[in-house]
Structure 1
Amino acid sequence: MHNVMLIWLKRLLMSLGAMLLLATLLFIAGNFWVLATTAAYIERKPQQCLPAKVGIVFGTSNWTRSGVRNPHFHARMRTATTLIDVAQVEHLLLSGDNRTQAYNEPRAMWRELFRRGVDPDQLTMDFAGFSTYDTLVRARDVFQLDKALLITQSWHLPRAVYIGRALGMDVTGCVADDPTINVEWGLRLREWTARVATLGDLYLWGREPYFLGTPEPIELRKRAPIDLILPSLDKRFNP
């Protein structure tokens, strides 16, 4: 009897070990696949990012749990402002979490970008961007975007770009990093796990966004006649 129990215990441990090894291999392969298939669509400097009429800025808290300014939030706002200033994008879709009245990521982004000099006519808020997946599905189905420039950190962009392209959107990524900040290991591990979960969302259990709603196409600001005249005048008087 004792020998039988030992045999079953050995088989159980071997099965658990095989399952753990398989899970580890799938975890590594899933991350490698997302990184490898999106690398060509991501640029690290705003000046190198491909122009797009609309840039999507992903929401995050502007304060950390310890009560200090969140460097990731401000890096995204700084990069988004630069892209507007150099005319790489014409409009920004600010998508984030707004589950409670006390926590409003799109509103915080709007205020910070306005403080940085971005015209409110160039800003649209999406209050139901509860996740990266929700943001991109809503960008496609609610805001009617088939092309966009995604603005977030380098560790987040591969997953965002992968989701967007898997949804049939022509998306590229623009890195919004703060070079003075080291990304915590906990955040890296969470993102590695999220990449694998994303493959399940897309190909296995057919995830739906938390809230979709009716279409609200983004209306780009029309260029005034003077905007069309000035470039030709500039060439005429400053050959």
Structure 2
Amino acid sequence: MHNVLLKWLGRLLMSLGALLLLATLLFIGGNFWVLATTAAYIERQPQQCRPTDVGIVFGTSHWTRSGVRNPHFHARMRTAASLIEHSQVDHLLLSGDNRTQAYNEPRAMWRELYRRGVASEQMTMDFAGFSTYDTLVRARDVFQLDKTLLITQGWHLPRAIYIGRALGMDVTGCVADDATVNVGWHLKLREWAARVATLGDLYIWGREPYFLGTPEPIELKERAPIDLILPSLNERFTAP
């Protein structure tokens, strides 16, 4: 009886070890795949980001849980306002969480960007961007975007770009980082897990957005030809 129990425990431990090894390989492999397939679509300097009609700014809280200003929020707003100022983007889709009346990410983004000089007619708010996945599905199906620039932190962009391109959108990314801010290990770990979960959302369980709604295409003024925009960009970024 004792020998049978030992054999059973041995097999159980071997099975658990094999499952742990498989999970580890999937975790590492999934992250490597997302990073490797999106690296070519990410620009780390705003002046190098692809000019396009609409840029998507991903929502996050204006404040941290400790009650201080969220540097990630302000880095996104600063980058988005700069892209508008230098005519690389004509319009901004502000997509974030507004599950309750007391928490409204799009409205906070709108106010901050307006304070930074972005005109109200250059901004559209999406109040149902409850997740990165929801934001991109709604950008495609509700706001009728097939080509766009994604504006968020460098650690977030690979997942966002992977989702967008998997949905058939022509997306590139513009990094909105703050060089003075260190990304904590807990945030990195959460993002590593989210990348793997994204593969499941897309290819296994067929995730649907929390709320889709009816189409609301963003109406834009006609964009100037790119050969007229680029000279002015070069002059602005090389001016003393």
- Does TM, scored on the shorter chain, surpass 0.5? yes
Deviation at 1:87, TM superposition (A): 0.6
Tell me the equivalent position of 2:190: 190
1:190 is aligned with what amino acid? Answer: R
Q: Secondary structure at the match of 1:213?
A: coil
Is the Cα contact below 8 Å between 1:56 and 1:95 reproduced in 2?
A: yes
Is the Cα contact below 8 Å between 1:121 and 1:221 reproduced in 2?
A: no
TM-score normalized by structure 1?
0.93
Deviation at 1:222, TM superposition (A): 5.4
Tell me the equivalent position of 2:132: 132
Runs of 4+ in 1 over 6 A off after TM superposition: none
Residues in 1 aligned to 2:200 and 2:71: alpha-carbon distance in whole angstroms:
30
Deviation at 1:220, TM superposition (A): 1.2
- Structure 1 segment 142-181 matched on structure 2, within 5 A: 142-181=142-181
Q: Secondary structure at the match of 2:54?
A: strand
Tell me the equivalent position of 1:207: 207
Residues in 2 aligned to 1:52 and 1:22: alpha-carbon distance in whole angstroms:
41
Residues in 1 aligned to 2:129 and 2:51: alpha-carbon distance in whole angstroms:
23
Is the Cα contact below 8 Å between 1:97 and 1:105 reproduced in 2?
A: yes
Residues in 2 aligned to 1:126 and 1:19: alpha-carbon distance in whole angstroms:
41
Structure 2's unaligned 5+ residue stretches are 232-240
Tell me the equivalent position of 1:81: 81
Structure 1's unaligned 5+ residue stretches are 232-239
Deviation at 1:221, TM superposition (A): 3.6
Tell me the equivalent position of 2:109: 109
User: For residues 74-130 of structure 1, what are the alpha-carbon distances to aligned partners after superposition, in whole Å with 9 as ceiling and x for unaligned?
Assistant: 000000000001111000000000000010000000000000000000000000000
Is the Cα contact below 8 Å between 1:59 and 1:109 reproduced in 2?
A: yes
Q: Secondary structure at the match of 2:206?
A: coil
Is the Cα contact below 8 Å between 1:151 and 1:173 reproduced in 2?
A: yes
**Largest Rg, 1 or 2:** 1
TM-score normalized by structure 2?
0.92
